[in-house]
């Protein structure tokens, strides 16, 4: 298998198309061939629209910096017309949307060519992509290991070189976790940076945000430019960037104050994950930044208590609305996975007061972390407390196992969803067994430009090839 770092990134592919070195159709056909060759082993792609994609190319693509680049969309909460939108669940196995979600319309308007959809755990409730509906996605670096989740199918597809970049979403680390597991760049934007329309996600909206997994920082920036901006009437809106995010990728960040945290309450951090952070800290120091040790600035137990209620309430609405659509009152045997069924039963008893308290707690966590970040421009942490798990460790058919292991893989990531702050995982480390290890940089709300500038500077100084 060709490592993605040996292949051109999305911007380079688009430049080759503009220069006439290759046609968009040739690029798309080659990407389709790679998916068909590599997907049987990896199970990253679950929905296809090859004929429609080629028809899009033949009809003429919109001009843009990414025109002609093949792309995949995560099968969770984002719909591609004519392709099953299952959210990894048997309850939605036959749901085929008639229209694209707004973010997909924006991708297509930028000239990206959507080839299909990628594997996701049921309703995104797992830090590993192992849905019973589609089966597990496998890590290209080691097929016995997880891809992470919930954007694991997208990460596997990019890491395997099927496409140069793919759509992803992040409600508790679901962009950054698979990016770390698969050796990619994974930026979670600020709350309100873009829209989830038509998925209202009233309660998950404060914590979940879409973007992408990529091989390069500049691709992440360019894709964020494509989707950034709320629709009129949006409940949340992030501050507009000064210029473009792609411009930020070529701009020096200046001398930054970097706070480094490697310990968090209640979790042991694997030495490989800690070492990756410390090495990244030394690199930042060598680049001229002021670096100092600090504390995490949050308690994962408090974060979990808030985020679980917000996302749990949304899960109940999703299931109840689907049952109403099907003309049913109750879930049937096998409709959802055992872990989902347990969560649905538990969160169905939530009161409005409990949900309101969770929202208040989320704001309080944000204020406290924000006060902590006043001393620093960025906070440097592990992305994960442990390297990539084996497939089967996070088993949704055994809810007790999920309770035991699940939070291990979101201890450092979920807080940035609850607070709405942006964060990026960069593939700067390696475990003793050769698996990639990510480190996370976080900043205050609306400061994606700063993270992109710093990440691009780090990538130039220490390329992850």
Q: Is 219 left (phi over 0), alpha (psi -120 to 50) or beta?
A: alpha
Exactly one of 31, 67, 74, 410 is catalytic; which is it? 74
| Half-sphere exposure of residue 174: CA atoms within 13 angstroms, side-chain side | 30
108, 307, 314, 320, 432 from 204: Cα distances, Å:
26, 8, 6, 15, 37
Q: Is 20 left (phi over 0), alpha (psi -120 to 50) or beta?
A: left
Name the H helices within 64-216: 102-109, 152-159, 176-182
Exactly one of 174, 216, 308, 414 is catalytic; which is it? 174
**What is the C-alpha to C-alpha distance for residues 292 and 307, in angstroms, rounded to an integer?**
29
307 touches 414 (CB < 8 A): yes
Q: What is the dihedral of CA 398, 148, 410, 220, to 10 degrees?
A: -150
For residue 150, cis peptide bond before it (omega within 30 degrees of 0): yes
- Please give the order of strands across the beta sheet that includes 45-48: 45-48, 113-118, 70-74, 165-170, 209-214, 185-188, 423-430, 436-442, 378-382, 257-260, 290-293
Under DSSP, is residue 71 helix (H, G, I), strand (E, B) or coil? Answer: strand
**What is the C-alpha to C-alpha distance for residues 275 and 431, in angstroms, rounded to an integer?**
9
Q: Which residue, 125, 138, 154, is CA-closest to 223?
A: 154
Q: What is the dihedral of CA 174, 408, 204, 212, to 10 degrees?
A: -10
- Whether 108 is a known active-site residue: answer no
**The pair of three-digit structure tokens given for residue 111, joined into one six-digit string:** 């000239």
Q: Which residue, 151, 207, 160, is CA-closest to 179?
A: 151
Exactly one of 150, 151, 220, 308 is catalytic; which is it? 150
- Whether 150 is a known active-site residue: answer yes
158 touches 148 (CB < 8 A): no
**What is the C-alpha to C-alpha distance for residues 5 and 393, in angstroms, rounded to an integer?**
29
CB contact set of 193 (below 8 Å; sequence gap of 6+): 209, 211, 224, 227, 228, 238, 422, 448
DSSP 267: B
- Whether 216 is a known active-site residue: answer no
Active-site residues, by number, are 74, 150, 174
């Amino acid at each position: 298998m060709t490592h993605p770092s040996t292949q051109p990134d999305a911007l380079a592919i688009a430049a080759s198309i503009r220069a006439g070195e290759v046609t968009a159709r040739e690029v798309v056909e080659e990407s389709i061939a790679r998916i068909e060759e590599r997907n049987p082993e990896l199970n990253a792609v679950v929905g296809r629209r090859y004929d429609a994609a080629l028809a899009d190319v033949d009809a003429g693509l919109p001009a843009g910096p990414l025109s002609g680049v093949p792309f995949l969309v995560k099968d969770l909460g984002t719909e591609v017309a004519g392709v099953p939108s299952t959210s990894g669940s048997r309850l939605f196995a036959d749901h085929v949307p008639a229209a694209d979600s707004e973010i997909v319309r924006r991708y297509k308007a930028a000239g990206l060519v959507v080839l299909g959809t990628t594997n996701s755990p049921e309703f995104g409730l797992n830090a590993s992509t192992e849905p019973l509906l589609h089966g597990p996605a496998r890590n290209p670096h080691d097929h016995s290991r997880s891809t992470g989740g919930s954007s694991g199918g997208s990460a596997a597809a990019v890491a395997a070189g099927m496409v140069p970049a793919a759509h992803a979403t992040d409600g508790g680390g679901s962009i950054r976790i698979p990016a770390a597991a698969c050796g990619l760049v994974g930026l979670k934007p600020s709350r309100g940076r873009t829209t989830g329309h038509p998925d209202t996600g009233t309660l998950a909206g404060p914590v979940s945000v879409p973007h992408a997994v990529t091989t390069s920082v500049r691709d992440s920036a360019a894709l964020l430019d494509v989707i950034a901006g709320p629709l009129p009437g949006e409940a949340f809106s992030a501050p507009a960037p000064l210029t473009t995010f792609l411009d930020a990728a070529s701009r020096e960040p200046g001398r930054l104050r970097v706070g480094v945290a490697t310990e968090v309450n209640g979790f042991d951090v694997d030495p490989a994950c800690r070492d990756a952070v410390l090495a990244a800290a030394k690199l930042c120091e060598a680049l001229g930044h002021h670096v100092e040790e600090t504390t995490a600035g949050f308690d994962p137990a408090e974060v979990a208590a808030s985020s679980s209620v917000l996302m749990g309430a949304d899960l109940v609405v999703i299931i109840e609305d689907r049952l109403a659509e099907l003309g049913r009152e109750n879930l049937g045997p096998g409709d959802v996975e055992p872990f989902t069924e347990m969560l649905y039963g538990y969160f169905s008893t939530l009161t409005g007061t409990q949900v309101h308290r969770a929202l208040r707690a989320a704001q309080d966590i944000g204020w406290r972390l924000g006060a902590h970040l006043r001393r620093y421009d960025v906070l440097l942490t592990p992305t994960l407390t442990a390297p990539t798990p084996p497939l089967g460790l996070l088993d949704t058919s055994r809810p007790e196992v999920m309770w035991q292991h699940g939070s291990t893989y979101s201890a450092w990531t979920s807080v940035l969803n609850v607070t709405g702050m942006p964060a990026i995982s960069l593939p700067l480390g390696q475990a003793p067994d050769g698996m990639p290890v990510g480190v996370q940089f976080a900043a205050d709300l609306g400061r994606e430009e700063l993270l992109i500038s710093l990440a691009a500077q780090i990538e130039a100084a220490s390329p992850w090839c």
